Structure 1
Amino acid sequence: MLDSHFDTTLKIMINLAVKREEVHSSESLAQSLGTNPAFIRKIMAKLSRAGLILTKRGQSGGVSLLKNPKDISLKDIYLAANDRINISEVKKTKSDCSVSCSAQNILLKLSSRLESAHLLILSRIKLSHLTKDIKYEK
């Protein structure tokens, strides 16, 4: 399941890809996304550690893409945004019941397969694909 951090991270990356010639600050991105700059800075730190963006501090600082949008997959963005990999949580069973314990293992395997499929799909979609769907006001 995709979380709100991925949603916001993806919007940041689309903004950077569409407006590559502009300098983007955490304040301008936060205003455009309707959130606060501190949250944007946390996400930008993750994107920077993942090698997806370049950040410059100071008065003339800002953020820009480090790679071409056609070389950035949604998997790259998803993995940068999320501290954990599993898309679904499976609660540990506190039981001696063989059915409950077996169901636990079945759900763990299912979760792993879902995550693999999810990442495969995201790896096939590039940031540049999404920028083509941006509708500009006239």
Structure 2
Amino acid sequence: MSGKVSSTKWFGLAVQSLLVLARYDEICPSGVLAEKLNAKSPFLRKVLTNLVKSGLVMAKEGRNGGYSLGKPPEEITLVDVYHAVRTDPYAKGFLDVNEECFTSSTHDALVSLRDEMEGWLIEGLSKKTLAELLAASK
């Protein structure tokens, strides 16, 4: 696995981190970010690592280090966040099928449904930006 995970918890924490960083006037230390989000720092840093790799967040190392947005909020779509923190379609294990209980055609139909549902999710997330979330949360 590439360090990314398919988890709604990771996605939620990633979106919330971006919202905090968008409102923070300077570089935000991971400890401050973890405190604001009531998250454990090691877990949060794993999420942030994926956001940094995707270019959504910039990291500055050192004593005065921390995180800031890598792009303006208007340029960050929620599908960017989704892709940054996942490896498997939709949610890992979602609609997994016990092949011993079902025929291959039933298995294929459920896999097709899962893939179609991910398409709906991606389509919806691609229409929302971080800036829209910021405006709605004022």
What band does the TM-score fall into relative to the shorter chain?
A: 0.7 to 0.9
1:124 — aligned with what? 127
Which one of 18, 41, 45 corresponds to residue 23 of structure 2? 18
Which one of 40, 49, 60 corresponds to residue 45 of structure 1? 49
**1:57 lines up with 2:57 in the alignment:** no
Matched ranges for 1:110-121 at <5 A: 110-121=113-124
The code of the aligned residue for 2:29 comes to S
Which one of 7, 10, 16 corresponds to residue 5 of structure 1? 10
The code of the aligned residue for 1:126 comes to T
Structure 1 gap ranges (5+): none
Structure 2 gap ranges (5+): 1-5
The code of the aligned residue for 1:61 comes to G
State the SS of the aligned residue for 1:132.
Answer: helix
1:84 — aligned with what? 88
For residues 85 and 51 of structure 2, the distance between their equivalents in structure 1, rounded to whole angstroms, comes to: 7
Alpha-carbon offset, residue 2 of structure 1: 6.5
TM-score (norm 2): 0.87
For residues 102 and 119 of structure 1, the distance between their equivalents in structure 2, rounded to whole angstroms, comes to: 26
**1:94 lines up with 2:100 in the alignment:** yes
Contact 2:22 2:73 in 1 (8 A): yes
TM-score (norm 1): 0.87
State the SS of the aligned residue for 2:124.
Answer: helix
State the SS of the aligned residue for 1:40.
Answer: helix
Aligned length: 131
For residues 124 and 111 of structure 1, the distance between their equivalents in structure 2, rounded to whole angstroms, comes to: 21
The code of the aligned residue for 2:37 comes to L
Of all paired residues, the percent bearing the same amino acid is 27
For residues 21 and 119 of structure 2, the distance between their equivalents in structure 1, rounded to whole angstroms, comes to: 28
Contact 1:73 1:126 in 2 (8 A): yes
